[in-house]
Amino acid sequence: MDRIDLVKRNAQEIVTEKELYGLMETKAEPSAYTGYEPSGKIHMGHVLTVNKLIDLQKAGFNITVLLADVHAFLNQKGTMEEVKQIADYNRRCFLALGLDPDKTNFVYGSDFQLGEEYMLNVLKLTCTTSLNRARRSMDEVGRTMDDPRVSQMVYPIMQAIDIAMLDVDVAVGGIDQRKIHMLAREGLPGMGYRAPICLHTPILLGLDGDKMASSRGNYISVDDDEAAIKKKMKKAFCPAGEVVDNPVLQLFRYHILPRYEEVVFERPEKFGGNLTCNGYEELVKIFEDGTLHPMDLKNGAVKYMSLLLAPVREVLL
């Protein structure tokens, strides 16, 4: 696959594609980053952006992963000490998923966000950002609270300043980060920094076809073993022939097929024997026309998800 296709695959939106092409033509080693609020449960939604960082790394980008401890704290996820502790667990998970340990720069938010220059930049951007805009940018990121805190207004401003201070060309994130990224694109040039190129991945559905939510347990975590994956897959929403918003097909599209070019669905002879499939297009076709039964798709998902998460389980032992 050529560099551009690798960078673009499975992206939902690139702002703007033209800028991205320009960057890749002119800079030998462009840079990209994603930030993560440290979390005790890394799930396949997180992994989707990690996959994109791996694509970018393979395409020659320098990758920074921000362990956004201060942001998690501002978003009321725990005390500073608590979130810092979880961050290292997250770093180990991300590496086990395939980021190159020699070429990935892990940064703690608290290591650079409390300095004078950073803080002055934050204050400057608060002067040019309307309250309304800051609030709206948090619609899909902020922890829902009856009584939202000022900290959740500081959050998007800091995320924008991160992009400037980490000096990255491309900000990568789920599409839920888009309003914060647009705030950064508009606000940073006035402060003498360049507007970042933004690459957004889709948001993965929960296995029940609804939004992923820890309260529902409707997702696969990176530390799930085969038995746990099997149990969750059994209950997964996967109607025969349904190729739109099918969470099991999504696992193939965003997680399995980018790693395994060819997948084999194992079936007893009386059900047609093993079925080999190359690429997502082919998978959609055989599922839509009924050649591949939901049960076989699910069994395949269990096999490959367990395989691709095996390295994570190993480092956590």
Asked whether residue 162 is marked as a ligand-binding residue, the answer is yes
Which of these segments, 30-38, 128-136, 146-154, 216-224, binds ligand TYR (CB under 6 A)?
A: 30-38
Asked whether residue 152 is marked as a ligand-binding residue, the answer is no
Which of these segments, 34-42, 52-60, 272-280, 288-296, binds ligand TYR (CB under 6 A)?
A: 34-42
The site map against ligand TYR for 132-161 (x = CB under 6 A) is: ---------x-----------------x--
Asked whether residue 250 is marked as a ligand-binding residue, the answer is no
Q: Which is nearer to ligand TYR, 177 or 250 (CB)?
A: 177
User: SS3 sequence, the chain?
Assistant: CCHHHHHHCCCCEEECHHHHHHHHHHCCCCEEEEEECCCCCCEHHHHHHHHHHHHHHHCCCEEEEEECHHHHHHCCCCCHHHHHHHHHHHHHHHHHCCCCCCCEEEEEHHHCCCCHHHHHHHHHHHHHCCHHHHHHHCCCCCCCCCCCCCHHHHHHHHHHHHHHHCCCCEEEEEHHHHHHHHHHHHHCHHHCCCCCEEEEECCCECCCCCECCCCCCCCCECCCCHHHHHHHHHCCCCCCCCCCCCHHHHHHHHHHCCCCCEEEECCCHHHCCCEEEECHHHHHHHHHCCCCCHHHHHHHHHHHHHHHHHHHHHHHC
The site map against ligand TYR for 46-85 (x = CB under 6 A) is: --------------------x-x--x--------------
Asked whether residue 214 is marked as a ligand-binding residue, the answer is yes
Q: Which is nearer to ligand TYR, 37 or 224 (CB)?
A: 37
Least distance (Å) between residue 200 CB and ligand TYR? 12
Q: Which residues within the stretch 163-182 sit at the binding site for ligand TYR (CB under 6 A)?
A: 177
Least distance (Å) between residue 71 CB and ligand TYR? 4
162 contacts ligand TYR (rule: CB under 6 A): yes
Binding site for ligand TYR (CB under 6 A): 35-37, 66, 68, 71, 141, 159, 162, 177
Residues annotated in a binding site for ATP: 214
